[in-house]
Structure 1
Amino acid sequence: MENLYTSQLLELLVETSAVTWAVGADGYIVDIPEWAALTGQSVEDIKGEGWMNAIHGEDLERVRSAWMTAIAHGSHYNTDYRLRCADGVYRWFNARGMPIVNVEGTIQKWIGVVLPIAGLNRFRQPAAASSGTTAPYVDITPGALRAARAMLGWSASKLADMADVSISTIRRIEEADERNSTRSTTARKLIASLAQQPLTLIASAEGVIEGVSRRTKMGQG
């Protein structure tokens, strides 16, 4: 019964998606026909990182960081972005994917879906981020934490020192399922340390940091 329910959920997910995709273990894009139909890009346009050219410029670095982090760590990929569709209009989508591994734990390929997001975009970028005020933020996802550390070039030890938490805590959070919440006291420490850095913290309407981008010299995201 459980397998049947899971199968039905997967079928519904595929039916409601704009794109289903599968790529090699290295994450290199060769051809995703459904993406080409959605964006109007050609097969040659999509190859490698070319598919990212259809993503809105303000979301591009965050998306690239999230995808590269997933590839590097073999972790789940889940991010939102504005995508230029074939009609030239930017619309919001959620992209998610996961690695498929063999019995030895080696990644064989990646599979995923791109889902349309109804209504307004779910991200906000509070101006308080540049001043170190963390009131708008209540939590940070493992993917966003990994991306922030990668952008800053920090080791787990460096982040632990800056946030005054243990290295084991950093590793536990970064390896957790995306749905797990960080303890509020730990989250506040991590967010406070990151808010002081040249990063723009990108949060959901609920105040959960789900992405980061590098702040420009003028202090803009």
Structure 2
Amino acid sequence: MSTALPLPAIPPRLPSRVLVTGGAGFIGSALVWALNGLGVERIVVTDRLGQDEKWRNLVPLRFEDYLEADDLMAPLERGALGRFDLVLHLGACSATTERDASFLAKNNFEYTKQLAHWALGHEVRFVYASSAATYGDGAQGMDDAHDETAALTRLRPLNAYGYSKHLFDQYAAAMGVLPNVVGLKYFNVYGPNEAHKGDMRSLVHKAYGQIEA
């Protein structure tokens, strides 16, 4: 990632140790890069590297350890990974064209539930990626900040990916934990490290390649 990108302002208190899921992905690798820029290197990264090129996003980053996502929960729950004071949960299947709703429910919803319960049970700050896809066509508005439960009930996602994200937002509201977690609803994010996403790249990234060609 280019060092020309501006670093974020230094927060009042830096996390001492961070777990970043999806840390090899587009947004996850950007977060690890930003943490490195703030001097935070005690980071454990998880992802599913598979057969694409996103492993390259990890090369310039500094972190303590890497685990495949499916190997995370067991050692985490038995305490083998040590203590964390922040979880940045970016790991998910983000393909809006994915038709396997069972896979999305397990990968995006159930996995997030497990990680959230662990974080809350250990008093660890939990920040997770929701999605603007939860808003559907926008007919019900795009503001769920004030009366979360009522606002969430009105939303109608248009695809299985959006619904898998919406499920956890609703679950967190029903469990009464929304005040204790942070859900970020990303819209059309673009930037470095997204080339591996193929057809799921941002429109900006696709158009840039077409114009350059």
Q: TM-score, normalised by structure 2?
A: 0.29
- The structure with the greater share of residues assigned to strand is 1
Q: TM-score, normalised by structure 1?
A: 0.28
State the structure with more CA Rg: 1
